[in-house]
Amino acid sequence: MPLGQLFTRRITIARIYGIPVRIDYRWFAVVALSIWLITSNLQSHFIQLSNVRLLPLAPLSAWVLGFITTTGLFLSVFGHELSHALMARAEGIEIEEIVLHPFGGLARLKTEPQNPRAELRIAVAGPAASFLFALLAFVGTKIAALGNYNATVVVFFLIAWGNLLLAVFNLFPGYPLDGGRVLRALLWHRSGSIKEATRMAGICGILIGGMLILFGVYIMIAPSWRPSQPYFMGGWSILVGLFLLDTAAKVVRGAQNTRLLTAGDVMSPPIAIDPEMTVTRLIDEVLPLHRQTSFPVAVNGRAHGILALEALKSLPKEKWHTTQVKDAMRGINPQLFVETSVILESAKEMMIDNGIGSLVVVNNQGELVGFLQSGKIIKRSKKIVRSSVRRS
């Protein structure tokens, strides 16, 4: 196996709440580096935390504490991502996997959130968990200090600060950081366009990535301020900056190429039928003009359900003139309607799940404004993408 292919592979280490947890092979190098850095500092530095004094430790003790501290830090990263995943599941979104990689972690969702509120709640869940972990670790620090367990104090203190830094860093307002997703949710709510919100959040991510690169260079060359390990800190800042820069640039390009189509982009005008209409009138008067496999059922602009022609196959022909549409339709429920701002991929998943292959599209006031059918949206989305590519 080529070396480059080896370091891009992932292994599955667990399944938590049914969610696969995978580790990037490169993650092991970061863990080893973290253990070595903590161990070397515990062996060579005198540590003073408030009234707690920890003299340089013997090699074995330092290595054990380095391993324990690193384990606590990376379990915290996993807890951060698991919080995202569980909140997304609470919003009705399936989770593909949780991945731990050299720059942190990622909870990969199968579909995008359906509205800005869901996006905001999912984004905030991770930093909130990290702040909670930091608070608990600081409490552990105080308890250990009361018992004069100096080594335990240092472990809890490092875990607390690690979680605090993780939470604060992730709140920087640039995609794909959590703060960038918060920014995207706010822009999405304000403009109603997730494509534009994603593009702006991605641009902020590019700026933050660039700033981290410049900061890393400054740490490495600045004569006036040099931390104890300038080349490691500077190099790590540059690597994280490059990662953010590359990811954010891909997000911006994707938004500009209109890959993030919404239900409002591809919906068709709704051919709504009245729930009191008989099946005979539907077949004789509506079907000859509109060759569809399903129709939205509405009264005064408010959706009441969807009638799928498939449901009429079991209805005897002699009952057509007495059976009304409301008797054969699927009553409106969360599986049958979406708002205009919902991501197209999410709408496609819903059409598969609801078994009809159609969705009613409503605006912010709940009024019927469009209709989605699986066969038609493929043609419309391809047409929109081709049109946007020609304009660019």
DSSP 56: P
Instruction: Determine the pLDDT at residue 158.
Output: 87
Instruction: Determine the pLDDT at residue 225.
Output: 54
CA separation for the pair 214, 208 (Å, rounded): 10
By the 8 A CB rule, do 9 and 25 touch?
yes
Q: What 3-state class would DSSP assign to 46?
A: coil
Contacts of 346 (CB under 8 A, 6+ apart): 111, 112, 113, 114, 338
Instruction: Determine the pLDDT at residue 129.
Output: 95
Instruction: Determine the pLDDT at residue 366.
Output: 79
Q: Which of 114, 97, 105 is nearest to 76 (CA)?
A: 105
CA separation for the pair 193, 120 (Å, rounded): 15
Instruction: Determine the pLDDT at residue 337.
Output: 86
CA separation for the pair 20, 13 (Å, rounded): 8
Q: Which residues of the chain have pLDDT under 70?
A: 1-9, 45-57, 223-232, 254-260, 345, 375-392
By the 8 A CB rule, do 47 and 148 touch?
no
By the 8 A CB rule, do 271 and 296 touch?
yes
Residues 277-317: tens digit of each pLDDT: 999 999 989 988 888 889 999 998 898 999 988 888 888 88
Contacts of 50 (CB under 8 A, 6+ apart): 145
Instruction: Determine the pLDDT at residue 136.
Output: 95
Contacts of 369 (CB under 8 A, 6+ apart): 264, 267, 270, 340, 361, 362, 363
Instruction: Determine the pLDDT at residue 274.
Output: 93
Q: What is the 3-state secondary structure (H, E, C) of 271-331?
A: CCECCCCEHHHHHHHHCCCCCCCEEEEEECCEEEEEEEHHHHCCCCHHHCCCCEHHHHCEE
Residue ranges and CATH numbers for the domains of the chain are 3-256 (no CATH), 263-391 (3.10.580.10)
Query: Phi-psi region for residue 300, left (φ > 0), alpha (ψ -120 to 50) or beta?
Result: left
Instruction: Determine the pLDDT at residue 306.
Output: 92
CA separation for the pair 41, 28 (Å, rounded): 20
Instruction: Determine the pLDDT at residue 375.
Output: 67
What amino acid is encoded at 73 in this protein?
L
Q: Is the dihedral of CA 119, 121, 124, 126 positive or negative?
A: negative
By the 8 A CB rule, do 306 and 328 touch?
no
221 class by beta-carbon count within 10 Å (0-12 exposed, 13-18 middle, 19+ buried) = exposed
Residues 354-364: tens digit of each pLDDT: 778 889 998 87
Would the pTM count as exceeding 0.85? no
CA separation for the pair 79, 169 (Å, rounded): 16
